[in-house]
Amino acid sequence: MKNMNAYLLMISILIVLFNCSTKTENTLDMDNYFAWCIVPFDNQNRTPEQRMEMLHELGFKSYAYDWRQKHLPEMAHELELAQKNNININAIWMWISEEDSVGGLSADNEQILRIIEETGTKMQLWIGISETWLDELSDDSSMIKSIEMVSYLSDRASQLGCKIGLYNHGGWFGDPVNQVKLIKKLPERDLGIIFNFHHAHELLDDFPALAEEMIPYLWAVNLNGMRAEGPKILPIGKGNLEKDMIAVLRDKGFVGPYGVLGHIEEADVQIVLQRNLEGLKSIML
């Protein structure tokens, strides 16, 4: 009987260990991952309430808020709703175009800042600048103009308890090399870089050296499946480069947070996010 009890105890322990191992192998630390590009990129046109439900179902605890003009009337409601649902909005996208100047932001961008102030939300503002905003300027002139705008935005953001992150969205300003130079010229500002795999296909040859430069200022990395030949948007795990790129970042000291992309307009964003989460499991665990 003693031998039988010992045998059953051993079997029970093995089952527990197996279940723990299986759980570890099939879960992600969702404290280190947030959803990105989920508001305008959704053919279901979810309401803020439906978005909270979707995020809970997928296990996300945070997301970054991107928008189109039609979303601005409900933005304050969404910021407050996220807080009530214990979901952190860690960033809001802000696009600088020909309508924006130092001391004179566009009506949409001013509305975003008003909403942030009204709701008391503290987050990063991810700044992208249109290529045409710096059209035909030299490198030196582009740097001067960008420094002026980033300094102005940093002042506005700091008044709200927020910070400015520089987003690589193409053009002179979207080049992380220029972003690092800009940050170094503004050491008194608390600035960071938001690096996006899906805007980095032209940077792949120099990625290890680029990662070395970015690491001290890198706040977040938005993931995507990566092949040198494209396409721009590819599910995580379906490329042949993203796993090695993440390994380079880890080797150089960056461990997250990572954004999980929902960047397909004609698709249900919940399906897109789920597919990317499954891809993450295949390459990260």
The structure's pTM equals 0.89
Closest to 87 in 3D by CA, of 119, 55, 45: 55
Return all residues near 176 (Cβ < 8 A) that are at least 6 apart: 168, 193, 195, 203, 210, 213, 214
d(CA 39, CA 78): 11
Q: How far is CA 232 from the centre of its chain?
A: 16
Residue 10 phi, psi dihedral angles, 5° rounding? -60, -40
Domain 30-284: assigned CATH number: 3.20.20.150
d(CA 192, CA 207): 18
Q: Is there a cis peptide before residue 208, judged by omega within 30 degrees of 0?
A: no
Tokens of 90: 């860690």
Closest to 36 in 3D by CA, of 113, 89, 95: 89
Return all residues near 228 (Cβ < 8 A) that are at least 6 apart: 201, 204, 241
pLDDT for 284: 82
pLDDT for 245: 97
pLDDT in tens, 111-160: 999 999 999 999 999 999 999 999 999 999 999 999 999 999 999 999 99
Mean pLDDT to the nearest integer, 194-223:
97
pLDDT in tens, 244-280: 999 999 999 999 999 999 999 899 999 999 999 999 9
pLDDT for 26: 54
Ranges 3-7, 188-192, 205-209, 254-258: which has the least confidence = 3-7
pLDDT for 17: 46
